[in-house]
Structure 1
């Protein structure tokens, strides 16, 4: 009963914050998505004959269940049904997720959102290639822009205090960030030459260097992790140069013609590049720590078939292994 009340309150917050999005009073069973998904599709696509509807269950997600429903063989008319994982509201602000979805949709960076339902939402399927760790190293992509050793509570509290004190002093600007495992949530359409973002559960404002460091950690892979694949200094500097160039160009455009009269330019200096390099690698530590804690929470509550405890163990080990090396990095004066 208490769990039902919490879910109802969460949905009320989502609906209140997003009054323009239609909400359907249907709950989908996360352990058996098909019946509920077809029920939703009959609401959205009443002209489709149920016996002609094909489905595809995607297995990449480790927080939610995702099913595509379509009638066209090439999935050109596909609709995605996304079902929240059990207890994910403990770590995901669903109202904030929906607001961010709408903001990105309004700016042409997201698929069309059709409606929400009691424990998820339906949205447009984007044709294209979901990027993986092997893709995000490529310059043509980033020019776009069971023995567990879990630390004790005392150690975790000590590390949190260190991060709050140290990382806040690095001077990284606060920007709108994806905050999730980014590569698998980017759809790249090579024919049209554009990038679109999907999955906004963790999207929000954060330190710029955190989002980049979080992204660099993905180079090592998601399920079978190999941290020898973490980008070397040369690759990072190349990536960061593209990022800073775009970031500064957009900043100048926002400032308008006044910036030109003050002699400002979009050129990237060596000092700026080095500063961001140090910031990013130190914030990458925070990324390891946060995802390790996420793994512990998921291991306790999730019903998805994934070894979250092992994942937490891997991220904690990499955090403590990388910390001495990264702490030694100093920004140039």
Structure 2
């Protein structure tokens, strides 16, 4: 999950020495930097999987400073994704011009190009001027031809990776309280009912506002943070994006989702039409209606996805445990899933 630009300056340099050396080497190649050693380290709040820092150097002209981003990998996150796969995805996305360039790597993190754009806020997600830009960018993202296997990762990750990990980390009382023993069959039932000729694309799988940036001048959208990215049904990615509109991770209750903010039917239809037509071909009502129907169903899978993520996060020493009530997020996702199930969604 991405960082929101709400910085807190650290009095002492919290970076590993090897990262500091690489940063000084990078800055020494910039002729406008007065002193490569005079770096300023600013912690960016809101990152849930890593620690993220903005690094600044004053320039000789004293105008715009040079900046890069340092990402220190969170402890315990290997239970969620393969870090080497994520780095390969990052490098490939960079080559596609889809995100920041990779400037350097060290044993516990990496250094990225600083994108001069603002991270979106929770309110931006439903802004009628911004949401269409996200829809078009998401279609472009899904159409990327990424290396590696193009098989769906959703179900195996839920069933064999996250569910097994949750069972291993939880006490027997917690396993029973969260009904973890019943989830394997529920995941399999969803897979049986949802996997049928659905369009597959390269999905972000975590399209919340902190992972979307916008250049205010050009209005161009950049999607960042690819830890969870993989090939999946595109309906799952859109479903997750709609659910994220109900979240505000910078409120006093970041673990509670407010479904009064969930996009209404017309809003969802508009997003789908823009998504489908952004590639140049005009979408028809039948195609849009089918995709919207698929999205509604994959909402259930999205709740399972982040529900399991939440309970595992409460057990591993990652940044999220400090900033978001992980178990609370699990419970609110489960409640949302039950409400969706009870609302009569036919799958």
Give the TM-score of the pair, scaled to structure 2: 0.74
Please, which of 245, 259, 262 is the counterpart of residue 230 of structure 1?
262
Please, which of 95, 107, 111 is the counterpart of residue 100 of structure 2?
111
Please, which of 286, 300, 305 is the counterpart of residue 271 of structure 1?
286
In structure 1, stretches of 5+ residues that fail to align are: 1-31, 250-265
Secondary structure at 1:229 match in 2? coil
Q: For the Cα contact (< 8 Å) 1:142–1:242, is it kept in 2?
A: no
* Cα pair distance change 1:59/1:113, threshold 3 Å: same
* Cα pair distance change 1:124/1:288, threshold 3 Å: same
Encode CA deviations 1:214-242: one digit per residue, 9 max, x unaligned: 00011101433211211111110011110
Please, which of 110, 128, 136 is the counterpart of residue 121 of structure 1?
110
Secondary structure at 1:302 match in 2? coil
Encode CA deviations 1:23-78: one digit per residue, 9 max, x unaligned: xxxxxxxxx83354534422432466366321210111111100111124887421
1:11-160 alignment, distance < 5 Å: 33-36=14-17, 37-46=19-28, 49=35, 52-72=38-58, 76-144=65-133, 145=136, 150-160=177-187
1:144-293 alignment, distance < 5 Å: 144=133, 145=136, 150-169=177-196, 171-223=197-249, 224=254, 225-247=257-279, 249=280, 266-293=281-308
* Cα pair distance change 1:74/1:237, threshold 3 Å: farther
Please name the residue that 1:6 is paired with: none
| CA shift for structure 1 position 150 | 4.9
Higher relative contact order (Cα pairs below 8 Å, separated by 6+ residues): 2
Number of aligned residues: 278
Partners of 1:213 and 1:74 lie apart in 2 by 43
Partners of 2:287 and 2:72 lie apart in 1 by 42
Give the TM-score of the pair, scaled to structure 1: 0.77
Secondary structure at 1:101 match in 2? helix
Secondary structure at 2:15 match in 1? helix
Task: Give the ranges of 4+ consecutive aligned residues of structure 1 lying more than 4 Å apart after TM superposition.
Answer: 73-76
Name the Cα RMSD after superposition: 2.2
In structure 2, stretches of 5+ residues that fail to align are: 1-12, 137-173
Partners of 2:238 and 2:65 lie apart in 1 by 33
Partners of 2:276 and 2:178 lie apart in 1 by 36
